[in-house]
Amino acid sequence: MSKGTVVLAYSGGLDTSCILVWLKEQGYNVIAYLANIGQDEDFEAARKKAESLGAKKVFIEDLRSQFVEDFIWPAVQANAVYEDRYPLGTAVARPCIAHRQVEIARREGAQFVSHGATGKGNDQIRFELTCYALYPEVKIIAPWRIPEFYNRFRGRTDLMEYAQKHGIPVPVTPRAPWSMDANLMHISYESGILENPKSHAPADLYLMTKNPEDSPNEPDVLEIEFKNGVPVRVTNVKESTSKDTPLDIFSYLNEIGGKHGVGRIDIVENRFIGMKSRGIYETPGGTVLLKAHLDIETFTMDKEVRRIKQGLGIRFSELVYNGFWDSPECDFVRHCIAKSQENVEGKVQLSVFKGQVYILGRESSKSLYNEELVSMDVQGDYDPCDASGFIRINAVRLREHHRLQGFSGTKK
């Protein structure tokens, strides 16, 4: 007798293929769900593989446009970076995947959802918090947290033996000595030989970006047009070609950024679950956009509004990293950030070259930059004498602090 129906987030790889068969062994009807978020994958081959392993149904969902518009664009508006360095490529993808997984589970009357995330990482939290938020009564099967499963499969060798025993096709090419996760926004690499934080990444690790040393000796000059804080057009100035749909814009920026080796980072970060981990990331298009958006935002946004918005961006980044995309506080922060972006529009010209993004210039009808006011050659509507009082007022606090601390006119 069936225990019920489970929607499995399926990748087509060894782990989730073994999980699919194991779930069937436990008495579940399995629906395999594969999200296309821009990874390099033979989706039809994955469909046939899942069907051959006994999946009751297989859903392959093209979420690329939704991923860009509903998840990457809010991250761009926020200048989202976790712990000053990580552009959140994996973290923003997980709620996108889980949203559709929940939709399918509800539509198919499935009481369970399952995933292949490990019991030590962030992804288990991101998937499950999203599922519980959108489908409160759902039950989650996380095999890598079930002793019966993880004691049986202690390593890749055990998985391979299980696969051979149950007719699961096994990889014919040698596995890289690290794990990798890819989507439209980035590729991440971790574990294996990368767990030693001192070891350097092998040159052949990077798949999305060229080594800057081997990149072209001529830059690409781009003009990125923004409206409401998101890009609406990108133009290659030299080639006079442009892209104007969200998916095309982001894909093109990935192409140009990757060609010039932009967006590589090698960091140690703090996982939400309480441990530090080493990760290597490639985020070419996202890095180009971050630089451009920072520039047009500063050009068009009031100083004090931007100071508040900066704090909201940091909070947004932490919430997304920790898996709280669908929390009320993250929804509130997203709305506040979106409000701040109403006048963030204009064009930024930049050069992409040898691993770097160089801002060349910007223009906007909503600019708060007053060339006459700031000019050293024109007085404009500003009296320099006013600066004396401004400085004296700001000095009151400093004078009093040092007088009361006994530092005025004395040296220790």
The pLDDT tens digits along the chain (412 residues) read: 789 999 999 999 999 999 999 999 999 999 999 999 999 999 999 999 999 999 999 999 999 999 999 999 999 999 999 999 999 999 999 999 999 999 999 999 999 999 999 999 999 999 999 999 999 999 999 999 999 999 999 988 899 999 999 999 887 677 788 999 999 999 999 999 999 999 999 999 999 999 999 999 999 999 999 999 999 999 999 999 999 999 999 999 999 999 999 999 999 999 999 999 999 999 999 999 999 999 999 999 999 999 999 999 999 999 999 999 999 999 999 999 999 999 999 999 999 999 999 999 999 999 999 887 887 777 777 888 999 999 999 999 999 999 998 765 555 5
- Which residues are bridge partners to 324 per DSSP? none
Domain boundary among 134, 157, 175: 175
Q: Are residues 49 and 20 in the same domain?
A: yes
- Would 157 be classed as within a structural domain? yes
3-state secondary structure of 193: helix
* Residue 224 φ/ψ, nearest 5 degrees: -110, 125
195 within some domain? yes
Both 87 and 206 in one domain: the answer is no
Q: Are 8 and 19 in contact (CB under 8 A)?
A: yes
Q: What pLDDT is stored for residue 411 in this prediction?
A: 56
Does residue 106 lie in a domain region?
Answer: yes
Catalytic annotation, residues: 15, 94, 123, 179
CATH number at residue 285: 3.90.1260.10
What does the DSSP assignment read for 248-286?
HHHHHHHHHHHHTT--EEEEEEE-TTS-EEEEEEE-HHH
* Residues 101 and 225 grouped into a single domain: no
CB atoms within 10 A of CB 406: 9
| Residue 79 is assigned to a structural domain of this protein | yes
Last residue of a domain, one of 120, 147, 175: 175
Phi, psi of 152 (to 5 degrees): -80, -35
Residue at 147 is within a domain: yes
Q: Are residues 164 and 22 in the same domain?
A: yes
Distance between CA 240 and CA 318 in Å, rounded? 39
- On whether both 276 and 246 belong to a single domain, the answer is yes
So what's the pLDDT on residue 374? Answer: 82
Q: Around 40, how many Cα atoms within 13 Å sit in the side-chain half-sphere?
A: 5
Domains in the chain, number: 2
Q: What is the pTM for the complete model shown?
A: 0.94
162 and 17 within one domain: yes
Q: Please, are residues 92 and 78 in contact by the beta-carbon 8 Å criterion?
A: no
Alpha carbon distances (Å) from 217 to 220, 259, 260, 261: 10, 11, 9, 12
User: How many angstroms separate the CA atoms of 94 and 100, rounded?
Assistant: 10
Tell me, yes or no, whether 37 and 144 share the same domain.
yes
Residues 108 and 38 in one domain: yes
Are 123 and 250 members of one domain?
Answer: no
What is the rounded CA–CA span in Å between residue 211 and residue 10?
32
Return d(Cα 289, Cα 276) in angstroms, integer. Answer: 28
Phi, psi of 345 (to 5 degrees): -145, 155
CATH code for the domain in which residue 155 is found: 3.40.50.620
Q: Which residues pair with 4 in a beta bridge?
A: 28
Q: How many residues does the chain have?
A: 412
* pLDDT score for 376: 77
Write down the pLDDT at residue 3. Answer: 93
Residue type, 31: I
Q: Would you say 352 and 222 are in contact if contact means Cβ atoms under 8 Å apart?
A: yes
- Tell the residue number behind the tokens 């093109």, with chain if given: 252
pLDDT at 382 (0 to 100): 85
What residue numbers bound the domain in which 42 lies?
5-175
Three-class SS of residue 39? Answer: coil
On whether both 57 and 190 belong to a single domain, the answer is no
Distant-in-sequence contacts of 236-245, Cβ < 8 A, 24+ apart: 237/349, 245/65
Check whether residue 73 and residue 199 sit in a common domain.
no
Contacts of residue 327, Cβ cutoff 8 Å, sequence gap at least 6: 129, 133, 319
The answer as to whether 57 is a domain residue is yes
On whether residue 369 sits in a domain, the answer given is no
**Residue where a domain stops, chosen among 175, 200, 231:** 175
Shared domain check, 295 and 152: no
Residue 334 lies in a domain: no
Q: Which element (helix H / strand E) includes 88?
A: none
φ, ψ (nearest 5 deg) of residue 179? -100, 155
